[in-house]
Amino acid sequence: MHTPPAPSANDWSPEEFRSYCQQVSDWIAGYLAGLRSYPVLSPVQPGQIKSALPASPPASPEPFAQILVDFERVILPGITHWNHPRFFAYFSITGSGPGILGELLAAALNVNAMLWKTSPAATEMEEVVLDWLRQMLRLPEAFRGVINDTASVSSLCAMAAAREAAGLQVRDKGLSGRQGLPRLCMYTSEQAHSSIEKAAIVLGIGQQGLRKIPCDHHYRMDVEALAQAIRHDIAAGYRPLCVIATIGTTSTTSVDPVAAIAELCAAHGLWLHVDAAYAGVTAMLPEKRDLFTGWEQADSIVVNPHKWLFTPIDCSVLFCRRPDVLRQAFSLTPEYLRTAEQDQVVNLMDYGVSLGRRFRSLKLWMVMRSLGTSGIAAVLRQHMSYAHRLGDLIAAHPQIELVTPVWFSTVVFRFRPPAVPEETVNALNARLLETVNHTGAVMLSHTVLRGQYALRLAIGNLRTTWEDVELAWRTVQEQAEKLTTADLG
Amino acid sequence: MHTPPAPSANDWSPEEFRSYCQQVSDWIAGYLAGLRSYPVLSPVQPGQIKSALPASPPASPEPFAQILVDFERVILPGITHWNHPRFFAYFSITGSGPGILGELLAAALNVNAMLWKTSPAATEMEEVVLDWLRQMLRLPEAFRGVINDTASVSSLCAMAAAREAAGLQVRDKGLSGRQGLPRLCMYTSEQAHSSIEKAAIVLGIGQQGLRKIPCDHHYRMDVEALAQAIRHDIAAGYRPLCVIATIGTTSTTSVDPVAAIAELCAAHGLWLHVDAAYAGVTAMLPEKRDLFTGWEQADSIVVNPHKWLFTPIDCSVLFCRRPDVLRQAFSLTPEYLRTAEQDQVVNLMDYGVSLGRRFRSLKLWMVMRSLGTSGIAAVLRQHMSYAHRLGDLIAAHPQIELVTPVWFSTVVFRFRPPAVPEETVNALNARLLETVNHTGAVMLSHTVLRGQYALRLAIGNLRTTWEDVELAWRTVQEQAEKLTTADLG
C-alpha cells in the first residue's frame, strides 16, 4: 500500500520508486515483445474511455498498484498502437529502447534547458548531437540546429525568421495598419503539409498570403508555375518572403525540385525553408543524395528524429544556416533571465517560441549511439527495400495499382477492379481502408490525389519485418477480395 | 555487450530492455535519494561538456553500459539540478515519482494524440484530467482545457484566439497591406512574462503593439492606467484586442486586479487572458481564492502543471471559455487527416499550433491520483508556510529586507547593510547571489525591481523540507556576512 504523503516525505521513497519503476519496466518489456498481439487501431467507441474514468479527481492519494491496474484496464484498450510493428499509417514512428530510457532519464533530471546556465549539459549536448546529425546528413557546417517539439513549430520558427529577414521591422512594428507595408506572401506546393498553412495563419500572413503552387504529375512543385507566381505577385505589389519546399510530402513522399527552387529564391532574395521532417534522414545515404540536391542552399531545414530516427515523440530539429536571423526574430531577455556568461554561450530560448525546453537531445544521443550511423543506415535501407518489394508486388497485381512511385518507404496504392465504374472506386477504397484497419492486424491511412482516394502504407518502425509488411499486403488483398464478392459480385 | 542490430532484431530484446531499464531505474532511485549531495548549480565552464563529447557520431552501435557510464561521467557534472530540493531559482519544479513513470509509459506507447482516432484514450484522458484540474481550481464548466508544451505556447494560442475573435478575418487575409485594417494592440503589465511579448511578435502585433501598463507599488497592473491606455488608443485609431493579466508574476508573484480588468475587458469587448502558469494551482485553496476573484470571467487561462503540480516538464494547460474561437483560429484538416468520426469527437490538433502531440495527460493523471487533491493542497500549503516563515525571518533581520510581500511561495529580498552606499548595493546583491549559488548548497535567482537588484527564493519542489529552506537562509546570511567583511569591512 502507498502511504499518504507526510510533511517531509511527499514523494516516494527510493525503495518505492525502484519497485514501481521495475513494475512499469516489466510491463513495457512485455508490451514491446507482445505488441503484435494487440489490434493496431483501438476499437473503442467515442466516449468509451471517458465514461470509464471517474468524473472527478480523487481527494485522497491512491496506491500506485491501482493506477497501473487502471492503466491496463481502462487506458490500454483506447490506445492506437503507434509503436506496433504493423502501424503503417501516416508516418510510422518508433519509441525505441534507448529512446524510451532517454525520456526516463530526462524526466528524472527534469531540467529546463532555457539558458545555458540552467543546465550546461542540456544546451551543449543539444549543440553536439545536432551537429552529429548535421554531419550524418552531410549538411554544410554553417547549419546550426535547435530542437522543437514538432515540425509544426520548427516551420513556424523558420517562417518567422523569413519574415524577420525581409527587414520590414515586423518584430518591432507589427504588420497591421502600416503605411507603405505591402501585402506579404509565401509560397509552397499544393502538396505541402498543413502545418505550413497553419504557420502562415499564426504569423499574420493569412491563408490568402500563402500561395499553393501546382504540382507536376508526380506531385512535385512546378517550378515554372512558382516563377510565374512570384513575378505576378511582385507586379501586383505584393512582397514575397519565402518558399517552403518539401522533400518527402505527406501524401506521396514526393520531392520538390529543391535546386531549381533555390535558384529562384536566390534570384529574388527569398528565404528557402525545406520541410524534410520525414525523409530528411535519408540524406545520409549516397543512393538518395540526388533527391537532396540544392537543399544545402536552404536557409532552414526541418528534420524530425521522432519520425524516422527511432526517437520517441517529440523531437523536431530545425537546422538554420542563418541562426543570427532566427535569434533576431525571437530573442528577448528579461532581467530575471540575464546571466553573467550570456555573451559567451548559446541560450537556446533565444531561437524559438517556447522559453521552457525539455532535455530532448538526451534521447537522441542515446538512440544515435545505440544504433550508430551504420545501424541507422541499415535500417533505413531495410525499410526502403521493403517498400520497393511491396511496390513490385502491387505493380504485378491485376486489380491493385500503384498511384505514385515509391520514393522512400511509403507506398501509395489503390484498389481498381476493372468491373467497377470509376465513380464508385473512391467509396470502395474508403471501405477497403476501413475493413483493413478493423481487422486490427495492421493500420494504414489514406489520402486523395487529383480526386482519387488512395491508401498509404508507410514503413518506419524499428521492429517492422518483411513478414509484417507481407501480412499487411495479404490483409489488403483479402479484404479487397471480400469487398468485391460482397458488394460487387 | 550489446549486439549490433540484425535485420530482424533492430531494437533490444525484452530481456535487454528489462535489464537496461532496471539499471536506469536503480540509478534514478539513488539519484533522487541522494540529490542533496549534488551541487545545485552546475560548476562547469562554457564549452566543457562539448569538449568532452566526441565531435562526430559513432559509426557502429555502442553498448548501453558505455552510454550510461558516459551519462554519469560527462553529462551529470553539467546538470543544474532542477529536481534538487534546494533548487529555489526561477520557479522551483518537480519531476515526481509518478510523473517520471508517466513519462516512461508515454514514451513506450509513443502515441501521437493529434486525432481522436490516433489514440482515443490519449484524447479522452486529456479531456477528463483537465476537467479534474478545472474542478480542482473551481473554474466554471464552460472552460475546456488543452495541453501545450509550455506557457509560451499556451499564451500564444490564447492571443491568436483573441486576434481571431475580433472578426477581422486575419486567418484568411492576414494583417499587412489591408485597406481599413487599423493598427492592433494588446495590453499587459510591465511585470508580465517575456513570453507575452514574444507571442505579440510572432502574431504580427509587434513589440510596439503590446502596451506595457505600469504597476502599483506592489507590482500589480494599474487598472486606471490600463483604462486610460485603452481610451487613448481607441481615440488614436488603434484597435485593442485583448488584455493579458497575471496571477503570480515572474519577478515577485504579484497578482493583477483581475476582477477590475475583467470589467474593463467586458466594457470594451476585449479578450481577457490570464497567465496563472505558476500560481494558478493555489486557486484550489479557499484561503487564496480572493486573489483569483474575477478570473472565472477570463476568456482563457494558462496553468502549468509542470511548474507547481509536481509533473515533469513539459505540461502547460490552456483553459479556454470559448474553445470554438480557439478552434476557429487553428483548425485545418487536410484530406490525409480526415476521419469518419470527426464530427462526434474532439481532435486536439484543432486547438493549437502543433499537429503532433505527446500523451502528456498520462503523467498528470498519475500525479493527481498519487497525491490526491488533499495531498496536493497539503503540499502547496506547506510550501507557502515555509515561504512565510522565511519571510518573517528576513523581516526580523537587521541587514536583509523583504522587497515585496510573500504572495505564494516565492520570497524576494535584498541585502541592505546600512553602512553601504545605495549605489553599490546592487553590485553587492549580484555578488551575493553569485557566492550563494557557488556554494552549490542552494540555487536562487534574481530580478531587478525599480532599479533595485533583488534575490528570489522560490519554493515548489515536492521534496523540499523546512530544513532545506533554513539551509538556504543560513547560506545567504553567511555569504552576506563574508561579503561585508571582505569587501566593505
DSSP per-residue codes, B266-300: HHHT-EEEEE-TTGGGGGGSGGGGGGGTTGGG-SE
Residue A66's CB: how many other CB atoms inside 10 A?
Answer: 14
d(CA A476, CA A414): 10
Q: Please, are residues A256 and A408 in contact by the beta-carbon 8 Å criterion?
A: no
d(CA A438, CA A429): 14
Q: How many residues does chain A have?
A: 489
d(CA B98, CA B101): 5
The nearest CA of chain B is from the CA of A162 a distance in Å of: 12
pLDDT class for B343, splitting at 50, 70, 90? confident
Which of A44, A175, A197 lies nearest to residue B204, judging by beta carbons?
A: A175
**Best residue in A281, A354, A464 to probe B by mutation, most B CBs within 10 Å?**
A354
SS3 A434: helix
Q: How many residues does chain B have?
A: 489
d(CA B82, CA A120): 12
Chain B residue closest to A191 (CA)? B334
Chain B residue closest to A206 (CA)? B174
Determine whether the interchain pair B110/A172 forms a contact, defined as Cβ–Cβ distance below 8 Å: no
Q: Please, are residues A366 and A103 in contact by the beta-carbon 8 Å criterion?
A: no
Mean per-residue pLDDT for A416-441? Answer: 94
Q: Please, are residues A103 and A363 in contact by the beta-carbon 8 Å criterion?
A: yes
Is residue B426 pLDDT above 90, yes or no?
A: yes
Q: Give the sign of the dihedral formed by CA A436, CA A438, CA A442, CA A445.
A: positive
The nearest CA of chain B is from the CA of A464 a distance in Å of: 8
Q: What is the pLDDT of residues A282-341, one digit of tens each?
A: 999 999 999 999 999 999 999 999 999 999 999 999 999 999 999 999 999 888 889 888
Q: What is the pLDDT of residues A356-403, one digit of tens each?
A: 999 999 999 999 999 999 999 999 999 999 999 999 999 999 999 999
Determine whether the interchain pair A207/B172 forms a contact, defined as Cβ–Cβ distance below 8 Å: yes
Closest CA to A240 of A182, A192, A196, A173: A182
The nearest CA of chain B is from the CA of A156 a distance in Å of: 9
Q: Please, are residues B443 and B41 in contact by the beta-carbon 8 Å criterion?
A: yes
Is residue B190 pLDDT above 70, yes or no?
A: yes
Chain A residue closest to B328 (CA)? A201
At A10 the pLDDT is 81
Q: Please, are residues A415 and A453 in contact by the beta-carbon 8 Å criterion?
A: no
Place of cell 517552403: A244
d(CA A266, CA A269): 5
Mean per-residue pLDDT for A97-107? Answer: 98
At A422 the pLDDT is 81
Closest CA to A386 of A471, A453, A320: A471
Mean per-residue pLDDT for B39-53? Answer: 97
Residues of chain A found within 8 Å of residue B47, distances taken between Cβ atoms: 124
At B484 the pLDDT is 76
**Best residue in B8, B36, B81, B110 to probe A by mutation, most A CBs within 10 Å?**
B110
Q: Report the predicted TM-score, pTM, of the whole model to 2 decimal places.
A: 0.97
Work out the percent of chain A whose per-residue pLDDT is above 90. Answer: 92
Mean per-residue pLDDT for B54-72? Answer: 97
pLDDT class for B9, splitting at 50, 70, 90? low
| HSE-CB for B75 with a 13 A CA cutoff | 24
Closest CA to A182 of A221, A223, A239: A239
The nearest CA of chain B is from the CA of A386 a distance in Å of: 12
Determine whether the interchain pair A20/B195 forms a contact, defined as Cβ–Cβ distance below 8 Å: no
d(CA B371, CA B133): 13
What is the grid cell recorded at B32? 533522487
Q: Please, are residues A289 and A122 in contact by the beta-carbon 8 Å criterion?
A: no
Is residue A6 pLDDT above 70, yes or no?
A: no
At A202 the pLDDT is 98
Mean per-residue pLDDT for B258-279? Answer: 98
Is residue B1 pLDDT above 60, yes or no?
A: no
Q: What is the pLDDT of residues B200-213, one digit of tens each?
A: 999 999 999 999 99
Q: How far is CA B61 from CA A149, A380, B9, B49, B69, in A?
A: 26, 15, 13, 22, 15
Q: Please, are residues B411 and A95 in contact by the beta-carbon 8 Å criterion?
A: no
Q: At what angle do helices B258-268 and B223-235 cross, to 10 degrees?
A: 20
At A1 the pLDDT is 36
At A484 the pLDDT is 76
pLDDT class for A89, splitting at 50, 70, 90? very high
At A488 the pLDDT is 54
Any bridge partners for residue A144, and if so which?
A320
